[in-house]
Structure 1
Amino acid sequence: MVRENPTASLASLASGQSFALTGGTVILEDGSQSASDIIVGADGRVVAVEPFLDTSSCGACVDIAGMLVTPGFLDAHQHLDKTGVLRFTPNPSGTLQGAREAFAKYARTAGPDDIHKRATRTVERCLSRGTTAIRSHINVDKDAGFHGIETLAGVRDAEKDRITLQLVAFMTPHPGQDFDWLGKNIDGAVALADAVGGTPAVSEDPPRYLDILFSAAVKAGKPVDLHLDEHLNAGVHLLDAALDRVERFDMRGRTVFSHISVLSALPRRDFQRIAQRMLDLDVGAVTLPAANLYLQGRDYEMLPPRGLTRVAELHRMGVTIATASDNIQDPFVPTGSGDMLEIARWTLLAGHLRGDELSAAHHMITTAPARLMGLGKDYGLKAGARADFVVTDCIDTDTLVAGGPDRAFVFSKGRLVSQTATETIREKEDA
């Protein structure tokens, strides 16, 4: 142990050995912070998180006093089959429909090797920035076929010791959708996935489409994660129809509504009624600030809306709400680095959270998505959990979210997988 240089000691931890981190500040599951020691077993699981632990049996011990330890960041909604195709898929309109059409055209020619290369590159970039789990929606339709979900299932299985990947079978409807094709293929797609998804707003028969999705989920014993009402037309929404199916198919606590941009366009009374139904049925929400800021409101001549759902109000009402990247460098979102702290900041600013709610933004990239993804006891800084965490030079949660670290060490399953540092170089002045 080198007390004067804890970062050097962190970088020298060997894979496959037990170790202890002592004296650091730990962000706990309830968002509180505690000066605690952490012991990680050789199996990559957390053994204990408490002050003043006996670390004599550990293979290595590093004093990280003055450093902050956060659970790994979680990206609860990505599209790894689409990532990195921006230069191949122009979207001159900048609209959601323009993006759909651009990718649908590209998907007809995107083979497994192409998908694998782009997806693994994004996964590595996300991991290097502290993201230790991703839920990705993968198109399954007549254009994309099964190429995406089969390829990503292989990536998920190959990378399971480095990052947790969950796949959503995103049964994408198009104009002229053949429901017979959907019915024949959905079970095969869901078998490869970890959840069932779709986008009812663009289906030609939303009630029938929703029934197919929920039925397949119940049959397979898997959760539902919908792209729901990603628009600002208050006169047309499917929130009640989807909530009715949560109740009818008994999918309480196993359903997520992503986007739900239309909630921001509804009168407050209507919003409050729907939000209360979500709360009563334990339906979670995911906001995607990058996509909704970019794609929504382009046809408004004055004061274009932000396009997000009612982030702050859902959070304050107690609805479990996470924030996520959505798309990274494709026709839906031309930017993106895989940095969830960046997404947390966008959410705080665009979602009208307050300056005293920085910890809420942290919650939306850690414990909230962990709940929505069903990670349970496997996640967090607690005994028995997978040792996925990030050690930074920040002093507290607010500092971490507000500006980010200058030094960060990412651990996945107890192994150091990334280290970054920002250094300022000064020229020596002549004496």
Structure 2
Amino acid sequence: MCADRRKLSFDIANGRRALLLSGGLVIRDGGTAERADILIGARGRIDSVGPDLQAGPETDRVDVSSMLISPGFVDMHQHLDKTGVLPFTPNPSGTLQGAREAFAKYARTAGPEDITRRASRTMQRCLSRGTTAIRSHVNVDKDARFHGIEALARLRDEWRDRISLQLVAFMMAHPGQDYDWLGANIDAAVALGDVVGGTPAVAEDPDRYIDMLFAAAARAGKPVDLHLDEHLDPASLHFDTALDCVERYGMQGRTVFSHVSVLSAMPRAGFERIMQRMIDLDVGAVTLPAANLYLQGRDSQTLPPRGLTRVAELMRGGVVIATASDNIQDPFVPTGSGDLLEIARWTLLAGHLMADELSAAHRLITTAPARLMGLGEDYGIRAGAWADLVLTDCADTDRLVAGGADHMQVLSRGRLVSESAVALAQPETLRVAERV
């Protein structure tokens, strides 16, 4: 018989034995939850999922019948090279261009040690809040050079047993950028990264720039994740150029458009045409509510826009869409804790989802980004996947998203890496204190 223990604890979970989580309420891919056991092998992968699982003598059984179990959260759009620089990068205009200029100035002096320290702190905070996979865009240009992507490539290796980290070689084409420099350095940057990215809206020659990015991705056999039309000007669009490149370079199912804020400012017919092309070419989308709420619409004289894309319509229309943190405590977004449940709530509220779509908001931080990142069979609560799990005291998925947990445990690769709980004073303790 396996060893029977009542509670999941650090000493049990982090031993070198197999682990049986018994009787938890398991969230499946569709968002529904069902009672099941989860057997985790000694190497950190799920061996099996189902009712009344049997385990051998070298297995610790723990009772998790009071817990809701979710797959780990997936934050597929961050900027770990920028995280935590807010005290050093003032952005008095509060605009996107002001933030770009502030970071570009800082990037000229930010060394690898500084980037590593700040990124490690944010990754630890994200992990403690349930995030077990991150995709980070990392600036590569004449200001940042290769400092960020080299430092984060080292962290990707150092953290591989805790967080699945993907790096986007974010080839910046800000005004004045030297295209010869980009052309000479893009392949080396892409070799260090896992994905190719950029921001066409600020390029001096957007069509040439977009083609350069897709061509480099095709040469390296890597996917594309663009910051596409992160603005609210419907007269300035780059969707068709990017979608044409998806077709020409055979990047269907391997391309993501992040932000796409301008879709909310377009007439419906134009939006629906672009949405259908995205569906036909299997192009995903990522909304970034924190950045777009903060940066967009500051010049509006009446009713400032929310700045997000058409989240609800994209999701209901069939586009695979995720939500993510974007920047954390820097000139682009001065706030942020690495809590994806908080971002899911912001998305539901600012994106005009409905109260009966709380479970859909959960998918925006789990299965949808996992698909867009290509995590495949390594992700989810299924046999063969990594045991990256979030256990909470919530009754169901809706309540997890709506209000969060009072007690949370995070497993990464089958090991308990974080536990947090709200501790309340008992009434009798309070009465004693009053008498004193």
Aligned residue type for 1:200? P
Q: CA RMSD in A?
A: 1.1
8 Å CA contact retained: 2:18, 2:42: yes
Distance of 1:329 and 1:254 partners within structure 2? 30
Match of 1:429 among 408, 431, 434: 431
Aligned residue type for 2:342? E
Alpha-carbon distance, 1:214 to partner: 0.2
Distance of 1:118 and 1:11 partners within structure 2? 29
After superposition, the C-alpha distances for 1:364-386 in whole angstroms (9 at most, x for unaligned) are 00000000000000000000001
Aligned residue type for 2:176? G
8 Å CA contact retained: 1:260, 1:309: yes
1:112 is aligned to: 112
Partner-residue secondary structure (3-state), 2:286? strand
Distance of 1:23 and 1:152 partners within structure 2? 39
Distance of 2:177 and 2:142 partners within structure 1? 9
Partner-residue secondary structure (3-state), 2:35? strand
Partner-residue secondary structure (3-state), 2:23? strand
8 Å CA contact retained: 1:11, 1:419: no
Q: Which stretch shows the higher mean deviation, 24-33 or 329-338?
A: 24-33
Correspondence 1:401 to 2:401:
yes
Distance of 1:415 and 1:108 partners within structure 2? 39
Correspondence 1:240 to 2:217:
no
Aligned residue type for 1:163? I
2:257 is aligned to: 257
Correspondence 1:214 to 2:214:
yes
Q: Matches of residues 69-218 of structure 1 in structure 2 within 5 Å? A: 69-218=69-218
Aligned residue type for 2:285? A
TM-score, normalization: structure 2?
0.96
Aligned residue type for 2:377? K
Distance of 1:340 and 1:82 partners within structure 2? 18
Alpha-carbon distance, 1:17 to partner: 1.7
Q: Which stretch shows the higher mean deviation, 172-181 or 119-128?
A: 172-181
Aligned residue type for 1:283? V
1:306 is aligned to: 306
1:389 is aligned to: 389
Distance of 1:188 and 1:157 partners within structure 2? 18
Distance of 1:119 and 1:19 partners within structure 2? 31
Distance of 2:321 and 2:369 partners within structure 1? 8
Alpha-carbon distance, 1:11 to partner: 6.2
Distance of 2:165 and 2:254 partners within structure 1? 18
Partner-residue secondary structure (3-state), 2:401? helix
Aligned residue type for 1:37? D
Unmatched 5+ residue regions in structure 1?
none
2:341 is aligned to: 341
Distance of 2:192 and 2:319 partners within structure 1? 29
2:364 is aligned to: 364
Alpha-carbon distance, 1:206 to partner: 0.4
1:29 is aligned to: 29
After superposition, the C-alpha distances for 1:177-235 in whole angstroms (9 at most, x for unaligned) are 21111111000000000000000000000000011000000000000000000000011
Alpha-carbon distance, 1:32 to partner: 2.0
Alpha-carbon distance, 1:29 to partner: 1.8
Distance of 2:113 and 2:10 partners within structure 1? 36
* CA distance 1:270–1:331, shift in 2 (3 Å): same
Unmatched 5+ residue regions in structure 2?
none
Q: Which stretch shows the higher mean deviation, 123-132 or 417-426?
A: 417-426
Distance of 1:242 and 1:206 partners within structure 2? 10
Distance of 1:71 and 1:154 partners within structure 2? 26
Partner-residue secondary structure (3-state), 2:308? coil
Partner-residue secondary structure (3-state), 2:74? strand
1:320 is aligned to: 320
Distance of 2:194 and 2:430 partners within structure 1? 56
Partner-residue secondary structure (3-state), 1:429? helix
Partner-residue secondary structure (3-state), 2:237? coil
Alpha-carbon distance, 1:57 to partner: 3.9
8 Å CA contact retained: 1:16, 1:415: no
How many pairs align? 428
Alpha-carbon distance, 1:2 to partner: 4.8
Q: Quick one: percent identity of the two aligned structures?
A: 69
1:277 is aligned to: 277
Aligned residue type for 1:154? R
Deviant stretches of 4+, over 3 Å: 9-12
Aligned residue type for 1:278? M
* CA distance 1:120–1:10, shift in 2 (3 Å): closer
Distance of 1:39 and 1:159 partners within structure 2? 24
Distance of 2:272 and 2:197 partners within structure 1? 25
TM-score, normalization: structure 1?
0.98
Distance of 1:327 and 1:419 partners within structure 2? 25
Distance of 2:58 and 2:402 partners within structure 1? 34
2:39 is aligned to: 39
